[in-house]
Amino acid sequence: MNEGTSTLAKLLSEGDVVILSGAGISTESGIPDYRGPSGSRKRHAPMTYQTFVGDPAARRRYWARSYVGWRAMARATPNSGHHAVARLQRHGLVTGIVTQNVDGLHQAGGADRVIELHGSLYDVVCLGCGDITSREELDHRLTLANPGFVARATAINPDGDVDLRDEEVDRFQMVGCRACETGTLKPDVVFFGETVPAERVSRCFSLVESARLLLVLGSSLTVMSGRRFVLRAAKLGIPVVIVNQGPTRGDGYAMLTLDAPLGTVLPELARLTGAETVTGG
């Protein structure tokens, strides 16, 4: 145990902690991030909202790749970091979680009171009529529409899709909205270039503003979508602690930074704070 972990455990033990988590907490579950040690930024350009809604060919490519990648996402399981966060929450030390992730692993690991800032891959929305369905239902419909569709994929990308050859994409058949039949289906996540719903942002700000400590886990804070909460905490004099592998754009606002794997640090924090053996929902 290093001095930084010991110091953070003492800060956590005082409670009223709000967590802001990023992709780095899910890398040990096999989901890469964009900018950290497992990042795929150099090999993968994420889908933008403008391209998705404006280019039918891009939508087909996205859904074909996402159809294959969904199986890997659905198989991903919470790691020791997710479970440790849930134990800290059940122990009464963490009052809420704002996650930039769309993988649902915090909840699968036992956490509640989670605000999914960028939405969830487990839901699908029709941009025409607003109908919302589960990703499982859409996957079933796509399977029926694509009998025998087999594609060899490379590693999964952070937004849940994979790389496929053009000829594989060309074979993929789309399906329409079950309600209006003509609307464009989109995963209920915030794409690059899209705005996070104002009400959701407001809830996140309220949560952060009520915290005694803001703990950032596994985020480079490169984009303002997450960094704004660190800026707000700093403006209000709320201490910020960052645990991430590599530097972040929020380091200058933090009272403490730890460069360490979350799968190691978080279980140790749960042990030091007495939350290690907490069970139940």
Residues making up the annotated binding site for NAD(+) are: 100-103, 218-220, 244-246, 262
Query: Residues marked as binding?
Result: 100-103, 126, 129, 177, 180, 218-220, 244-246, 262
Map tokens 């991903």 to a residue. 76
Tokens matching residue 110 = 């036992």
> 99 and 112 in contact (C-beta within 8 Å)?
no
Which residue positions form the known binding site for Zn(2+)? 126, 129, 177, 180
Residue pair 30/74 in contact (Cβ under 8 Å)? The answer is no
In terms of DSSP bridges, do strands 213-217 and 132-134 run parallel, antiparallel, or are they unpaired? unpaired
Inter-CA distances, 119 with 68, 149, 187, 191, 213, Å: 20, 28, 9, 10, 24
- Between the alpha carbon of residue 123 and those of residues 117, 155, 237, the distances in Å are 14, 22, 37
- Identify the three-state secondary structure at position 52: helix
83 is annotated as an active-site residue: no
Cβ atoms of 217 and 20 closer than 8 Å: yes
Reading the block at residue 272, the tokens are 């030091």
Q: Looking up tokens 């579950």, which residue turns up?
A: 29
The active-site residue out of 83, 91, 106, 118 is 118
User: What is d(CA 27, CA 21) in angstroms, rounded to the nearest whole number?
Assistant: 12
Q: Report whether 57 contacts 238 (CB < 8 A).
A: no
- Which residues participate in catalysis according to the annotation? 118
